[in-house]
């Protein structure tokens, strides 16, 4: 157990001590914040451009579908690269290539006759590169802060992610309304800042000299996941929440036909992100929870309960409040799940396990879109919403029973510093 002098201060607001105490983490975080914010400009601009070129909502939907296979495939590859090479160098390469892809989008937007197929290709390339960049960045964090500060560092990462999701699209939408080319160029500029921040960091070689990349290396990560029941339980319980408790495909119909407020669809989409932002900003207490595994179970149960309330809410304000509560629970769960994953996995495998985690959190919501849409088609939109919440709660009970190691996972058993007698 760490001494009280080395333990992080546990409070309500997010703990900023990792930024103060680790210059290397500060550089990585600043670069990530700027890059995330810029990427949201492209997230807004690309669908707008596809719709303006085709006039087809289906074409816009296919844009997201086209990005999923390269994202998932590259995530597995990215995990092996993060465990094989200097992670700083991998980040420099991916950020440079991401900037180049955004330059391509800007040039296409500025052309007299922009090509829609180029938007598909370049956004798919961006998705693939992001699949390499994200697990590499995640795997680097435990080497930049002490184990006792890792929950706080992960909470900060979650806060920045949610902040970018809330602020980035709002500002990006204003820029896109003026110029698609300018929006893409803003993304390029933010990559330049991110590259400079990473370039100032020290080398980040994986422990043990690295593992040669390849499919055998990727399969080793999968085998390790299956051998770690607490980590596997964290994966499964998040998949349960996303598959059964992800109601976003229901938002348009709920806004128009149930709440008779078509303009409220944006509020329905924003409410979970707003709740998650509050959850991340007030996550200072999360690092002091000794039983992080029980915390994950409780947080996902809270998500399922909130989605159930959302499904039966007779008023729009209650539906929004329930979605915000669900977002808050998801942010808390994300911090604890990442803590469990990063502290349970040896450094030589962190890239590959981070890649599997990213594939899990990327694929789960898309499966949830299908599940909620099918149930709504067979029954109705309200039944789909509340039944998904109840199914999520049933899944939580099943995971808690099947993966006892998750409920027993303690921070102090893995080099962390939960307070004696903590929850």
415: region left, alpha or beta (phi > 0 left; psi from -120 to 50 alpha):
left
146: region left, alpha or beta (phi > 0 left; psi from -120 to 50 alpha):
beta
| Predicted pLDDT of residue 420 | 36
Residues spanned by the domain of 372: 17-414
Q: Which two tokens stand for residue 94?
A: 């991916």
Q: Count of domains in the chain?
A: 1
Report if residue 251 sits inside a domain: yes
**One digit per residue, pLDDT tens: the chain, 423 residues?**
333 333 344 456 667 888 888 899 999 988 988 998 898 888 888 888 888 898 875 677 677 778 888 888 887 777 778 777 888 999 999 999 999 999 999 999 999 999 999 999 999 999 899 888 888 888 888 888 887 788 788 778 878 877 877 777 778 878 888 899 999 999 999 999 999 999 999 988 876 555 666 566 667 777 778 878 898 999 999 999 998 998 877 887 888 788 888 767 767 877 888 898 888 888 777 777 888 899 999 999 999 999 999 999 999 999 999 999 999 999 899 889 988 888 887 777 777 777 787 778 877 887 887 788 888 888 888 999 999 999 999 999 999 999 999 999 988 776 655 443 333
> Cβ(35)–Cβ(194) under 8 Å?
yes
Name residues whose C-beta falls within 8 Å of residue 270's C-beta, 6 or more positions apart in sequence.
Answer: 166
| Predicted pLDDT of residue 170 | 72
Tell me the C-alpha to C-alpha distance, in Å, between residue 59 and each of 49, 374, 384. 11, 21, 26
Report if residue 6 sits inside a domain: no
Tell me the C-alpha to C-alpha distance, in Å, between residue 346 and each of 221, 240, 335, 404. 11, 26, 19, 21
> Smallest Cα–Cα separation from 330: which of 229, 416, 417, 246?
246
The backbone torsions φ and ψ at residue 332, rounded to the nearest 5 degrees and listed phi first, read -65, -45
**How much helix, strand and coil, in percent to the nearest 5, is found in the chain?**
80, 0, 20
What pTM does this model have? 0.70
Name residues whose C-beta falls within 8 Å of residue 178's C-beta, 6 or more positions apart in sequence.
Answer: none
The neighbour count for residue 411, using CB atoms within 10 Å, is 27
Distance CA 123, CA 109 (A): 13
Distance CA 60, CA 63 (A): 5
Alpha helices in 200-291 (DSSP H): 215-227, 229-244, 251-253, 265-281
- Token pair 């890059």: residue: 35
Distance CA 144, CA 362 (A): 26
Report if residue 12 sits inside a domain: no
> Cβ(385)–Cβ(234) under 8 Å?
no
Report if residue 11 sits inside a domain: no
Report if residue 312 sits inside a domain: yes
| Predicted pLDDT of residue 294 | 94
| Predicted pLDDT of residue 415 | 62
Q: Which two tokens stand for residue 236?
A: 């499964």
> Smallest Cα–Cα separation from 350: which of 82, 93, 73?
82
Report if residue 328 sits inside a domain: yes
HSE on the CB side for 384, CA within 13 Å? 23
Tell me the C-alpha to C-alpha distance, in Å, between residue 28 and each of 91, 127, 160, 258, 374. 10, 20, 12, 45, 41
- With b meaning 16 or more CB within 10 Å and e meaning fewer, what string describes 358-397? bbbbbbbeeebbebbeebbeeeebbebbbbbbbbbbebbe
Q: Which two tokens stand for residue 376?
A: 């709504």
Report if residue 286 sits inside a domain: yes
Report if residue 386 sits inside a domain: yes
CATH number at residue 90: 1.20.1250.20
Residue 43 CA to chain centroid, in angstroms? 15
Q: Residue 286 has what DSSP assignment?
A: G
Angle of CA points 227, 367, 358, to nearest 5°: 50
> Cβ(422)–Cβ(289) under 8 Å?
yes
In angstroms, how far apart are the furthest CA atoms of the chain?
Answer: 67
């Amino acid at each position: 157990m760490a001494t009280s002098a080395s333990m992080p201060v546990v409070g309500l607001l997010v703990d900023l001590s990792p930024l103060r105490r680790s210059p290397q983490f500060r550089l990585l975080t600043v670069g990530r914040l700027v890059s995330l914010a810029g990427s949201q400009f492209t997230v807004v601009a690309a669908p707008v451009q596809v719709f303006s070129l085709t006039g087809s909502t289906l074409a816009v939907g296919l844009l997201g579908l086209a990005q999923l296979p390269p994202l998932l495939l590259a995530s597995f590859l990215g995990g092996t690269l993060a465990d094989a090479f200097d992670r700083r160098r991998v980040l420099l390469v991916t950020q440079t290539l991401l900037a180049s892809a955004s330059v391509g989008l800007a040039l296409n937007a500025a052309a007299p006759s922009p090509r829609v197929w180029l938007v598909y290709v370049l956004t798919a390339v961006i998705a693939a590169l992001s699949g390499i960049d994200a697990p590499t960045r995640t795997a680097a964090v435990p080497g930049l802060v002490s184990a006792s500060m890792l929950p706080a560092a992960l909470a900060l990462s979650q806060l920045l992610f949610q902040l970018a999701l809330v602020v980035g699209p709002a500002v990006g939408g204003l820029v896109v309304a003026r110029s698609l080319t300018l929006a893409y160029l803003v993304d390029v500029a933010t990559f330049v800042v991110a590259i400079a921040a990473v370039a100032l960091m020290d080398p980040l070689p994986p422990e043990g000299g690295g593992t040669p990349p390849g499919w055998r290396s990727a399969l080793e990560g999968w085998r390790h996941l299956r051998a770690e029941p607490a980590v596997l339980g964290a994966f499964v319980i998040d998949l349960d929440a996303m598959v059964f408790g992800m109601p976003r495909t229901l938002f348009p119909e709920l806004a128009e036909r149930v709440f008779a407020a078509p303009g409220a669809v944006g509020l329905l989409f924003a409410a979970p992100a707003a709740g998650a932002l509050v959850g991340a900003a007030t996550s200072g207490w999360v690092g002091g929870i000794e039983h992080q595994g029980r915390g994950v179970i409780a947080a996902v149960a809270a998500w399922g309960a909130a989605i159930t309330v959302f499904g039966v809410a007779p008023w729009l304000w209650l539906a929004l409040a329930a979605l915000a509560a669900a977002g808050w629970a998801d942010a808390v769960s994300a911090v604890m799940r990442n803590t469990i994953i990063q502290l349970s996995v040896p450094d030589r495998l962190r890239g590959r396990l981070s890649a599997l985690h990213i594939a899990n959190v990327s694929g789960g919501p898309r499966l949830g879109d299908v599940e909620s849409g099918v149930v709504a088609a067979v029954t109705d939109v309200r039944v789909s919403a509340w039944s998904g919440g109840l199914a999520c709660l049933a899944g939580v009970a099943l995971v808690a029973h099947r993966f006892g190691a998750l409920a027993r996972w303690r921070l102090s058993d893995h080099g962390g510093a939960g307070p004696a007698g903590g929850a």
